[in-house]
Amino acid sequence: ETGVTQSPTHLIKTRGQQVTLRCSSQSGHNTVSWYQQALGQGPQFIFQYYREEENGRGNFPPRFSGLQFPNYSSELNVNALELDDSALYLCASSLGGTGGNQPQHFGDGTRLSIL
């Protein structure tokens, strides 16, 4: 089975720019979650998509937005980039939507650096 893949692996942007990160979920998984992991910290939940709709959101401003496509792949968009947005962005897929009892399968992440 194909695991979770994320692209790009690394990205450098400047303040004020916009960025789109992409994620292909594991085969058969219908739920995708996005996390921000700052250096030395645990992953912080951004939001989750289930069947193309936002299913839950963490404490992130509206300039963080996302999409899920019919094939369950997903995008994370961040507008008006700030220096504090520099982090590893992780995508995780799972099966089951709102249940919360399904383990998540993570990609290797996109390292975003803001100059």
Partner 1 sequence: AQSVTQLDSQVPVFEEAPVELRCNYSSSVSVYLFWYVQYPNQGLQLLLKYLSGSTLVKSINGFEAEFNKSQTSFHLRKPSVHISDTAEYFCAVSFASGGSYIPTFGRGTSLIVHP
Q: Which residues of the chain form contacts with partner 1 (CB under 8 A)?
A: 4, 33, 35, 40-45, 48, 55-56, 58, 90, 92, 98-101, 103-109
The least distance separating partner 1 from the CB of residue 16, rounded to whole angstroms, comes to: 28
The least distance separating partner 1 from the CB of residue 36, rounded to whole angstroms, comes to: 11
Which residue, 16 or 98, has its beta carbon nearer to partner 1? Answer: 98
Which residue, 80 or 94, has its beta carbon nearer to partner 1? Answer: 94
Largest CA distance in the chain: 39
The secondary structure of 29-44 as a DSSP string is: --EEEEEEE-TTS--E
Which residue, 70 or 100, has its beta carbon nearer to partner 1? Answer: 100
Instruction: Report the distance separating Cα 58 and Cα 113, nearest Å.
Output: 22
Give the distance, in angstroms, between the CA of residue 70 and the centroid of all CA atoms in the same chain: 17
